[in-house]
Amino acid sequence: MKAAASVFRFSLKIILLTGGLLTALLPPVSILAAEIPEVPGFHVAAAQPGAWPDVLRSYGLQEQTAGSARVIVLPEGGVAATGELLAHLETGRILILEGDSQAARTLGIHATSRHIAVRKVRDAHRPTLPIVWEKAVNVPVFKLPREAKVITRDRVSKVPLMAVLRRGSGSVLWIAVSPGKEGYERFPFLLHALSDIGLRPLFESRRLWAFFDFAFQRDRDVNELAREWRQMGLATIHVGAWDFFEPHAREDTRLLRLIGACHREGILVYAWLELPHASIQFWKRHPQWREKTALLKDAEGDDGWRLAMNLTNPDCRHAVVEGLRSMMERFDWDGVNLAELYFEGTEGLRKLNEFTPLNSDVRREVQQTYGFDPADLFRGGQPDAKKLRIFLDYRIDLAARLQELWIDELEKMRAEKPHLDLVLTHVDDRFDTTMRDAIGADAARLLQTLDHHDLTFIIEDPYTVWRLGPKRYAEIAARYRPLTTRQDRLGVDINVIKREHAYPTKQQTGVELAQLIHTAAESFSTVMYYYTGSITPLDAPLLPPASAVVTRCERSEEGLLIESPTGVGVRWSGPITLDGQNWPVRDAKLVWVPAGKHILRPAAADAPALVTDFTGMLENAAVRPDGVEIAYTSQSRAFAKLTRKPTRLIVDGQEATLEVTGEYVLRLPRGKHTALIIW
């Protein structure tokens, strides 16, 4: 049989070299079945699995039967035959044990009669990071076998709380107590421990977006950053544009280098606007246009960087438009993000020193329309409730009018650069309804813009709900779906930053971060986070599997069945067919599978050249005698990374300009297209 397969592969290579079609006969199924990758799944041996499914799904694992699963979990109180559990270790599987059990005792893990109250813990992955449980837990003191490697200890007593050990060809991960009701409350680096003992996700995604601010990663080499970002699963970065509002030789060069580095890695770069903040220099040069707070002071923001300008003033608005137009022309942007165009501040009337807008133009318009000066509402004493309601509603309407006006301005810029994508980032006011009066937010009204503007609407959850955990994203999505039919253009922004009164860590990391990303990816077409530098090198490998969404995966002699609503990368080595056709979109480690249900099988030989990475939404691909044809949709232009330099490009049957940057990174036009890449 091996000799026959060798003859077949040699014959197919001859077909390839002579330009023959790649749909030649495939090797027998029995040869291919052994080459289909294992699907790493999990099984929880308990009627009540607790949070384990949420934890393990966030790392790309599928729920399976005990006989098929790579990871077997025995929660404390779970029922499973000890002999069967330990037999799994002999086949190279991973066994997760909670607390005291017969299986743990058989492995040499014994609970003593002594107990301690655990609240502060130390993990070997980040020893200096404060990890604090919200409530102390009474935990038995365990004795572990000498060969066990302790990962997590009580910070005070040094008592072991999480450890790993090898048994046969398998591994054991033991924890002294459950991971908590939500799964992330106690052991942030549980997924890292599983990775340490050899668990590798089968799926990856590279469709994440992130905000980037030069102020926080200024000393990093841009080429190194771009390489890291793509490996972290980033498809798009949104660069703080206020630093480039005015021309500046050194700063402009820095941004040009960053954009070039990102494009060479196949990463799109958007201009991130924070109107009514234009730039520090604009604020200094035009004191006459500064926004005013309820106390009639300049609106400098609570941290001194969001310096709000009076965009209701026609002269100010014209000057900002001209500045933005100049900035858009100086750089090779792929899109624009009109972010957080609302009024200060998020505390609403509780902080009048931040509450806006009380500029002279607003005061005059309210006086002429409603017969009172809104500044009188804040001069002391209890404001007139009826007039205050009128002003708050006026403020909500004004915010919507300004947003619509600036979308129109950006559409004019897109008319000159048709490849530009438009994004609107808007703070949620459906989950936290206080944001409507606090900042003038009206998402329902603004979402109507999707009906007549081609843009992506990103929902940013305010700080008031950050403590509610990853499951909030499913709830937020449920509240926004009825507001628009364009579900494909809804996205969410996750703030990965330090929080007050947060447990077990101030900033999301490890299991919590993975669950945040995964729940958001299941709920929204686009997931982004603030900001690129908030993800530590330790957590970076979690993002690609966490953002992958797979609803079905089965391995059989017929091949590997994959079903995904968004498309996904599948860990795979060697040539491959998709639905019976040779598939050319892969690199040495991953094959990129379009949305839908597909069958993957090993192939005998590869295409003459490959598309190793692609930023658009891949719909189909096919090997042609003279190249590769791909069908795709992209909201901005798309980048295709190739293994060979192309000689021609045909888009929708028409000859197109060939734009190649870096080492064979091809630019493709925005929209829905079929592109034939000819070598």
Our count of domains for the chain comes to 3
Tokens of 163: 């450890």
Number of Cα atoms under 13 Å in the Cβ half of residue 452: 7
651 contact partners, CB below 8 Å, separation of at least 6: 668, 669, 673, 674, 675, 676
Contact between 548 and 569 (Cβ < 8 Å): yes
Contact between 505 and 467 (Cβ < 8 Å): no
Could you tell me the CA-to-CA distances from 192 to 41, 75, 542, 549 in Å, in that order? 17, 19, 9, 20
With vertex at residue 346, the alpha carbon angle to CA 341 and CA 347, rounded to the nearest 5 degrees, is: 155
User: Biggest alpha carbon distance in the chain?
Assistant: 93
Compute the distance between CA of residue 135 and CA of residue 504 in angstroms, rounded to an integer: 10
**375 belongs to a structural domain:** no
Same domain, yes or no, for 559 and 530? no
**368 belongs to a structural domain:** no
**384 belongs to a structural domain:** no
Same domain, yes or no, for 308 and 439? yes
Q: What is the pLDDT of residue 12?
A: 33
- Classify residue 22 by its DSSP letter: S
Same domain, yes or no, for 173 and 217? no
Compute the distance between CA of residue 192 and CA of residue 184 in angstroms, rounded to an integer: 13
Same domain, yes or no, for 323 and 429? yes
Q: What is the pLDDT of residue 365?
A: 97
Sign of the C-alpha dihedral, residues 124, 205, 331, 286? negative
- Phi and psi, residue 175, nearest 5°: -130, 145
**601 belongs to a structural domain:** yes
- Classify residue 464 by its DSSP letter: G
Query: Among 546, 569, 590, which residue terminates a domain?
Result: 546
Contact between 346 and 302 (Cβ < 8 Å): no
Query: Among 513, 546, 579, which residue terminates a domain?
Result: 546
Same domain, yes or no, for 218 and 188? no
Same domain, yes or no, for 627 and 486? no
Same domain, yes or no, for 531 and 571? no
Q: What is the pLDDT of residue 200?
A: 94
Closest CA to 161 of 145, 146, 147, 178: 178
Contact between 553 and 39 (Cβ < 8 Å): yes
Same domain, yes or no, for 243 and 321? yes
What's the domain range around 348? 204-360+400-546
**383 belongs to a structural domain:** no
Q: What is the pLDDT of residue 304?
A: 59
Contact between 76 and 178 (Cβ < 8 Å): yes
Q: Which H/E stretch holds residue 134? A: strand 131-143
Contact between 559 and 530 (Cβ < 8 Å): no
Compute the distance between CA of residue 623 and CA of residue 22 in angstroms, rounded to an integer: 7
101 contact partners, CB below 8 Å, separation of at least 6: 74, 76, 78, 82
Q: What is the CATH number for 173?
A: 3.40.50.880
Q: What is the pLDDT of residue 24?
A: 35
- Classify residue 302 by its DSSP letter: S
Same domain, yes or no, for 343 and 465? yes
Tokens of 562: 């994959």
**454 belongs to a structural domain:** yes
Q: What is the pLDDT of residue 566?
A: 94
Same domain, yes or no, for 102 and 209? no
Same domain, yes or no, for 236 and 142? no
What is the side-by-side order of every strand in the sheet holding 590-593? 203-204, 568-571, 590-593
Using 70 as the pLDDT threshold, list the residues of the chain that sit under it: 1-34, 302-304
**377 belongs to a structural domain:** no
Q: What is the pLDDT of residue 431?
A: 84
Closest CA to 421 of 674, 675, 243, 669: 669
Compute the distance between CA of residue 299 and CA of residue 314 in angstroms, rounded to an integer: 19
pTM higher than the cut 0.85: yes
**134 belongs to a structural domain:** yes
What is the side-by-side order of every strand in the sheet holding 149-154? 62-63, 41-44, 71-74, 94-98, 170-175, 160-167, 149-154, 110-123, 131-143
Same domain, yes or no, for 626 and 501? no
Q: What is the pLDDT of residue 601?
A: 96
> Quick check: helix, strand or coil at residue 660?
strand
Compute the distance between CA of residue 62 and CA of residue 290 in angstroms, rounded to an integer: 55
- Phi and psi, residue 23, nearest 5°: -100, 30
Query: Among 181, 200, 219, which residue terminates a domain?
Result: 200
Q: What is the CATH number for 274?
A: 3.20.20.70
